[in-house]
Amino acid sequence: MPFMEEQNNQQNHYSRRSISFERSKLPNFLISVKLKYVKLGYHYLISNAMYLVLIPLLGVASVHLSTFSIKDLIQIYENLKFNFVSMLICTSLVVFLATLYFMSRPRGIYLVDFACYKPQKDLQVTREIFVERSILTKAFTEETLSFQKKILERSGLGQKTYLPPAIMRVPPNPCMAEARKEAEEVMFGAIDEVLQKTGVKAKDIGILVVNCSLFNPTPSLSAMIVNHYKLRGNILSYNLGGMGCSAGLISIDLAKQLLQVHPNSYALVVSMENITLNWYFGNDRSMLVPNCLFRMGGAAVLLSNKPRDRLRSKYQLVHTVRTHKGADNKSYGCVFQEEDDTKQVGVSLSKDLMAVAGEALKTNITTLGPLVLPMSEQLLFFGTLVARKIFKMKIKPYIPDFKLAFEHFCIHAGGRAVLDELEKNLDLSDWHMEPSRMTLNRFGNTSSSSLWYELAYTEAKGRIKKGDRTWQIAFGSGFKCNSAVWKALKTINPAKEKNPWIDEIHEFPVHVPKVSKVIGS
């Protein structure tokens, strides 16, 4: 009986953790929409838009006053100077409305500039080198080596992605010293570049937010940056760990909240993942997929709430929307760090990952819709939704066209499967998906920093024009889905840009053929 119980537990373990290797499809999340998330989007719009009501009122009053002649103003003054109470009420009302407007208006959050780390050429790893070094480790069976080859062929990764020296060395040397060395190279490389591009001194940074999901040493990564750049003693520093690939936008949202209450400040956001100590040397297939997808990379973003920085900044942050599905057990466990049967630690991907991602995306997009969609799209969407949900009418649901809300899309390059399904669900073109696909091809899945490689690609192509809106969307363990909306404050001239794509942008886009079977990622 104890043996049978242990065998059943093992079967339950594999049914819970094993990943489906047939083509997984993202649910059509724009058809099965929940009304409560639409209401949540409108709640965000109303609760954060008091100043949008005050602006028209002040505008109408200003237009009306502009029609008054000097004679009219003198007449009003003559009528009011002997009516102290009326004058006091009018003056108090004007002061009250002006105070209410300036107090309720959120501070503008500007992205001054950002930088993506590009490793040295000698760290590039082709598919052939990856397989060769995997064989030399003698950690993998013939079956799992064959499995990894298939994953690499179908992953969407190209031949120029990067891995840290500790992993590619023969034999590999995954240790704390090497992991720190990788973290320093990535973080300092990105920060040095962004400080150089903006001309901001390290001492001027008042807020520091660092996110890295799997590597959290003591002292923290944020402390490592403070020590290296000798940042000031009263800096507000935060280190976010274990939050997955969507942590980059969580860091942006945290910096945004801090900048709302700390005037005249710079915030530095650093997003990265560490490969050295998180390489899996076992044979559980559900844990081998991350080895084939994740690669070395990181980004540094400088934000400001100083009004004078608006003139030199690239973008203004318009919205952030965060969705967390961790209360659901299936969502919580679909990306899980644990030990396999041989006590090797790895990150396991569940067969439910695509379904969970679809539900999180549906929630996030439904909440975001009322904030960004044109009124015509909202009326059509909301009307059909009410007809179907409340009046039970059998009509075809209306799928909003998000291309009317955004010019550019930066979708986390987590894997080929999700990109394929999102392209279909959002009815996006190859042009819209190009930054995500090319980032996956050139740099692999760099976790939370992938969105910035995608935005850098769009800039290098000369696509960013003044007034353009860009939608960044990422998802990660927990399970979370987060969005950020940026508005371009100026046209980006690629000839004046320094980013990881500039020297080779003429080589892209490359053709990435679609396959009938891909691995859920």
Report residue 346: phi and psi, to 5°. Answer: -155, 175
The residues spanned by each domain of the chain are 109-507
Q: Which fold has domain 109-507?
A: Peroxisomal Thiolase; Chain A, domain 1 (3.40.47)
Compute CA 15 distance to the chain's CA centroid, rounded to the nearest angstrom: 30
Q: Active-site residue among 412, 425, 432, 499?
A: 412
Rounded Cα–Cα distance for residues 205 and 2 (Å):
60
Q: Active-site residue among 245, 292, 334, 481?
A: 245
**Token couple for 58:** 């002040």
pLDDT at 84: 61
Q: Active-site residue among 319, 408, 410, 441?
A: 408
pLDDT at 77: 66
22: Cβ contacts below 8 Å, ≥ 6 apart:
517
Q: Is 506 a catalytic residue?
A: no
pLDDT at 18: 42
pLDDT along the chain (521 residues), means of 10: 43 42 53 56 54 54 67 69 66 70 76 98 96 95 96 94 96 96 98 98 98 97 98 98 96 98 97 96 95 97 97 97 95 95 94 90 88 87 79 77 95 92 91 97 97 98 98 95 98 95 96 54 35
pLDDT at 140: 96
Q: Is 324 a catalytic residue?
A: yes
pLDDT at 16: 40
Q: Active-site residue among 445, 481, 482, 499?
A: 445
Q: Is 445 a catalytic residue?
A: yes
pLDDT at 237: 98
pLDDT at 83: 67
Q: Is 64 a catalytic residue?
A: no
pLDDT at 511: 85
pLDDT at 281: 96
pLDDT at 209: 98
Q: Is 262 a catalytic residue?
A: no
Instruction: Determine contact, residues 27/355, Cβ cutoff 8 Å.
Output: yes
Q: Is the N-terminal amide bond of 370 cis, ω within 30° of 0? A: no
Question: What pTM did the predictor assign?
Answer: 0.85
